[in-house]
Amino acid sequence: MIFVNFKTYQKGTGEEAVLLARICSEISQKCSVNIVPVVQSTDIFRLSSQGFLVWAQHVDNIDFGPHTGHFLPQAAMEAGAQGTLLNHSENKLQIEVVTQTIKQCQDLNLSVLVCSNNLSEAQQINQVSPDFIAYEPPELIGSKTLSVSTGRPDVVSGFVAAFPGVPVMVGAGIHGSEDVRLALKLGAKGILVSSDVLLSLDPEKALLDLALGFT
């Protein structure tokens, strides 16, 4: 799997998000790799209403009520999101909040990919059985010279060994098919990527290169 985090980049916003989602869909079919756009809340319905698979970048641990400025999990689901990212390094949460939010998403059949930058945190979160766990060392996010596969291979293999029943994703600094192949060799089931695609002059070429790492 490839989770493409659109973040708030220009190429991942509004109508440009539609174009990138179309690229994700086309390459997914071409390479038989499940590619998941992870988008801003304002773009979930924009994409899902056109038939694209889409996940939210975040939901809050709230229920219906007076929560101005928060993002209700039920609203994400109603907009068409099939899952959500949680605890990204750019939006870290307390472990108790993460676990409570996972439980709420499970009640809604909303899949969850939880990010973690260390094994101890991930083990605590895994007690409530998220659908996916992603290892992302924050110091390598956006790196152009070192990927998680080449820079932290021992930690990647440690995550895989610690969670035999959970698909482990890896992210940070992944720039091409060789990084993907090494991640898979270490036992990961897929990758979480952003800047390599969203900041590329040719996002289609960049994403295709990553997808070819699964072949």
Does the annotation count 88 as an active-site position? yes
CA distance 148 to 174: 7
Q: Do the Cβ atoms of 143 and 106 come closer than 8 Å?
A: no
Q: Do the Cβ atoms of 55 and 41 come closer than 8 Å?
A: no
Q: Do the Cβ atoms of 53 and 63 come closer than 8 Å?
A: no
Q: Which of 26, 78, 88, 204 is catalytic?
A: 88
Of 91, 90, 100, which is closest to residue 62 (Cα–Cα)?
100
Torsion of CA 118, 124, 127, 133, to 10 degrees: -20
Q: Which of 16, 70, 90, 136 is catalytic?
A: 136
Does the annotation count 96 as an active-site position? no
CA distance 23 to 132: 24
The H or E element containing residue 16 is helix 15-31
198 Cβ neighbours under 8 A, 6+ residues apart: 4, 5, 6, 7, 9, 11, 12, 20
User: What is the CA angle 190-195-198, rounded to 5?
Assistant: 100
CA distance 157 to 168: 10
Positions marked active-site:
88, 136
